[in-house]
Structure 1
């Protein structure tokens, strides 16, 4: 079949078929050495239809190639199942975002109370890295799990809720320093990414965010507006304290997170 006929038979454009040839995903049965014209067989129609359906499900070309080249049915099914799981997770995130937006539009939240706190220097076990904002959630989850696993392996207990410290550049430039820490009563020996640190003392304006971190930006906005109106903000990193988090329960509705903005307290509001 000429490429035009194959295009009509498979609903794949000529441009797409040429691209699939270049990347080695769907190679023509024959290519004219003089003209470069591509020819396909009718046996390739089912393969093209499978590729088209996988692309409709946003499967990357490399993953489709892996499925087509799978050595056995079990491997093929595992690859397809992994992509379906990814689709389900994306769908869950979309549904969560839609619900959050409907809630924001239909029922603007009342201003949560803001408190003041002076915290002293705290010894902690920590993981620190320069990360991209898009990687924050998976990095935070992995770092926190590693911290708790390290403390468990050494027979040490947390001396308070876990927390995070995030540089301003992480928000403004979408890349910056991030630290996740767990307070400890004694200094933890360095192991892998885990190292001992002293979380510095600070004066903070604090707001508590209940539930999933998917809409934690609403708490950030409320806190920022309060600080801008009532406090002298400092150019320092934002802190979070995870009073109840993924290490405690899988039910996101039970999570409670404190957002802490560094301030210079004048004493009046405090």
Structure 2
């Protein structure tokens, strides 16, 4: 039986940990089991404890203190150390065959946009541990309302898609922070964006000397045709359930479940 996992990616402050907790909470209400695998050597648990925690192997604080490195250099060192000790990860994951594993990743996006660290871990999970994986990439909805910032986020999401080579779901988080009707209406343009229309909007908002750059970026996004977003309200069960259904589809979670005996099905219906 293949295992199922989802990588939660995105810039710092995009709401990744909140999303992980929301998925866990929703799964508990529908009778499914899930665990958080923390891959951020600087993170502290929030609502739910980490089942597997990279800090049991190496922590950012220790590396910064002992090697006198800055936070970014220390983070790269932590992941290089993890790559040399993947047997630790194998042992920690152990026999989690039926449970859903949520890999909460750091907010330093260079780890999955242009440094080939996380892709090596992904290949190990797929090849050695038989995981069906997908990636979710979070961007803050209040951030992308600015068209130029949307293009910045879209490029980082595309970079992660290309480098990781995984089924990929883009998510706009923190919709609850957008209160006024004007911005709520404006946000709809970014869920299934027309890159060329957004480029025209960016031309109106930026210095004319950037117009050629705006058009080039829009052409790139349009040519790939992969940048679409799902809306997320972390405290809205229906919103979380919708995103989980997309994750289940791309990881083929239902196909990996053991078929139930008729008596088991009756017992469940009677509960």
- For the aligned pair, the TM-score class normalised by the smaller chain equals under 0.3
Greater per-residue strand proportion:
1
TM-score normalised by length of structure 2? 0.22
Q: Compare relative contact order (CA 8 Å, sep 6+) and give the higher one, 1 or 2.
A: 2
